[in-house]
């Protein structure tokens, strides 16, 4: 299998690609598409093929897809970018990549999405069959555009037979990723008991590898997360910051916001988090 990975230079991609190359099936090849050839050098040193070009450039995408059997689309524009950029990268480019994959004869398409795309909580752990419901404290262009991308790609699966499979990730952390520290900009305003669903980079890679190679996963969505959502008070502790006195008086507006069930991934893919909680990762020196 020849596998094309987008978003390889991001926090998730640059940790996933080396693991993919270590665990790929015999005879598989890995190709990354990067905007800057120099940033592709570390992957080339590992033996990956490097294609240069912007994901929003149809010709660059066509060349990158040549001979590819599968795509792992990690590329994303996160919170903090202009809304039009979020929509251009997360929705338009993702769906265009799916269409280009169909034209190129690429059989399999793994799309990375976010638990925020579900929007408001449901009073229970979210399941993969839940529809997007706009709302929640972090709703905006990022989750909305990712939800629209899922819808567009699943339409390509239903109408044209593209083997689309979606990995839904919560807050990703670990291995030097500054995400946990960056979270404090909004966690400081949370109630102390408010929870955040998380997943370690090692478990992201585990989940994506299982999903990439699994038979019979076409048209399916899977959650990859840990087993113990962390509280705002614990995030303060992890960052060595005193818990604000006011946090005891604040109310969690949606206790099930972003909390996901991993039953489908466990039952169908054999997924088990290597780091069941952020504390496990801390004790292992994997933060």
Mean residue pLDDT of the chain comes to 96
Q: Which residues does 253 contact at the CB level (< 8 Å), separation at least 6?
A: 137
Angstrom distance (rounded) from CA 64 to CA 58: 10
C-beta of residue 48 within 8 angstroms of C-beta of residue 4 = no
pLDDT band of 80, cuts 50, 70, 90:
confident
Q: Does domain 2-174+199-225+260-274 have CATH number 3.30.360.10?
A: no
Average pLDDT over residues 116-122: 96
Map out the domains of the chain as residue ranges: 2-174+199-225+260-274
Question: Which candidate, 142, 277, 272, 264, places its Cα nearest to that of 198?
Answer: 277
pLDDT band of 24, cuts 50, 70, 90:
confident
pLDDT tens string 209-229: 999 999 999 999 999 999 999
Q: Sign of torsion, CA 114 206 48 286?
A: positive
Angstrom distance (rounded) from CA 144 to CA 90: 9
pTM of the model: 0.97
pLDDT tens string 43-66: 999 999 999 999 999 999 999 999
Angstrom distance (rounded) from CA 86 to CA 260: 24
Give the DSSP per-residue string, 68-122.
-SEEEE-----TTS-HHHHHIIIIIIHHHHHHHHHHHT--EEEEEEEGGGGBS--
What are the backbone angles phi and psi of residue 158, rounded to the nearest 5°? -65, -40
Please tell me the number of Cα atoms within 13 Å of 84 on its side-chain side: 0
| CA distances for 4 relative to 64, 75, 171, 201, angstroms | 7, 12, 24, 19
């Amino acid at each position: 299998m020849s596998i094309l990975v987008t978003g390889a230079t991001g926090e998730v991609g640059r940790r996933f690609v080396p693991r993919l190359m270590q665990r790929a099936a015999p005879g598989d090849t890995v190709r990354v598409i990067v905007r800057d050839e120099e940033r592709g050098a570390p992957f080339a040193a590992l033996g990956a093929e490097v294609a240069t070009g912007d994901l929003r450039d149809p010709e660059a995408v066509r060349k990158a897809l040549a001979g590819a059997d599968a795509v792992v689309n990690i590329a994303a524009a996160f919170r903090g970018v202009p809304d039009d950029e979020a929509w251009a990268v997360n929705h338009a480019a993702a769906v265009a990549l799916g269409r280009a994959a169909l034209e190129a004869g690429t059989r399999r398409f793994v799309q990375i999405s976010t638990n925020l795309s579900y929007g408001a909580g449901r009073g229970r752990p979210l399941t993969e069959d839940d529809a997007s419901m706009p709302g929640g404290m972090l709703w905006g262009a990022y989750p909305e555009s990712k939800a629209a991308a899922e819808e567009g790609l699943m339409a390509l699966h239903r109408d044209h037979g593209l083997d689309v499979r979606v990995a839904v990730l919560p807050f990703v952390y670990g291995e030097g990723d500054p995400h946990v520290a960056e979270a404090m900009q909004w966690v400081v305003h949370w109630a102390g008991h408010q929870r955040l669903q998380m997943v370690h980079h090692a478990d992201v890679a585990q989940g994506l590898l299982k999903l990439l190679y699994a038979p019979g996963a076409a048209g399916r969505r899977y959650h990859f997360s840990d087993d113990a959502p962390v509280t705002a008070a614990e995030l303060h502790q992890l960052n060595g910051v005193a818990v604000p006195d006011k946090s005891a008086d604040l109310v969690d507006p949606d206790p099930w916001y972003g909390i996901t069930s991993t039953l489908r991934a466990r039952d169908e893919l054999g997924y088990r988090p290597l780091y069941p909680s952020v504390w496990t990762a801390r004790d292992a020196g994997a933060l």
